[in-house]
Amino acid sequence: MVINLKNIKKNIFLLICLFFAALNFNLILKPLNLVTGGTQGLAIILTHLFKIKPSTIVLIINVIALIISFFLLTKDNTYSALVSTFAYPLFIKITSYIPELPLPSNLTVIFAIIAGVVCGITGGLIYKLGFSSGGITILNLIINKYLKIKIALINFVVNAIIIGLGYWSFGLKKALYSIIVIGIGSFIIYLILRKKSSFNETHS
């Protein structure tokens, strides 16, 4: 049996990114109710409305999306989301036991910037490694494939809807802070994806 060290290395980096994304979720996004779109944004809203643990919500959304991906998308799409589907909610569960840090309301904009940087770095590296975060991302790919709508437009519309739900749940100020997180995160992801990745080189 041949062990592919390159794939092992990629998966280890993926798990590290997911762990820090979960830390960011439990230490900043969730305590401040910053609804940043995607699966984690829905998790914050549904946790607020129905008092369900966010790790449970993320797992349910991710598993449903993965099953749909298996039937409607390619094997590569499904495989790319497989680790994230189960590891991310697990890390959210584990890091939820870390005591919440005091986050003064007058410094929310600072924490929003920090959260945006972490979202951008972790998300950018996950995509750079050739993986998917799963969940809503999978559903966006399905809409793109069957309705021929550009991914950028789908992401914008879906995230706008989720942020709108966040505005309805937590108010205008939280929605504006959430937009800061998304803006910074998106810009950093763009910068990361512009650079050539050593993981995608032909040599091992």
H runs (alpha helix) in the chain: 5-24, 30-32, 38-50, 54-72, 75-95, 108-128, 136-147, 151-170, 172-194
- pLDDT confidence bin for 198, thresholds 50/70/90: low
pLDDT per residue over 34-81, tens digit each? Answer: 999 899 999 999 999 999 999 999 999 999 999 999 999 999 999 999
**What percentage of residues in the chain have a pLDDT greater than 90?**
80
What is the rounded CA–CA span in Å between residue 57 and residue 51? 10
pLDDT per residue over 78-126, tens digit each? Answer: 999 999 999 999 999 999 999 988 899 899 999 999 999 999 999 999 9
Torsion (CA) 146, 152, 155, 161 in degrees, nearest 10: -100
What is the rounded CA–CA span in Å between residue 159 and residue 79? 24
Which has the higher per-residue pLDDT, 5 or 30? 30
Q: Residue 104's Cα: distance from chain center in Å? A: 25
Which value, in Å, is the radius of gyration of the alpha carbons in the chain? 17
Q: Angle CA(2)–CA(128)–CA(80) in degrees, nearest 5?
A: 60
Q: Can you give the pTM of this predicted structure? A: 0.90
If 0-12 CB within 10 Å is exposed, 13-18 middle and 19+ buried, where does residue 59 land? buried
- pLDDT confidence bin for 1, thresholds 50/70/90: very low
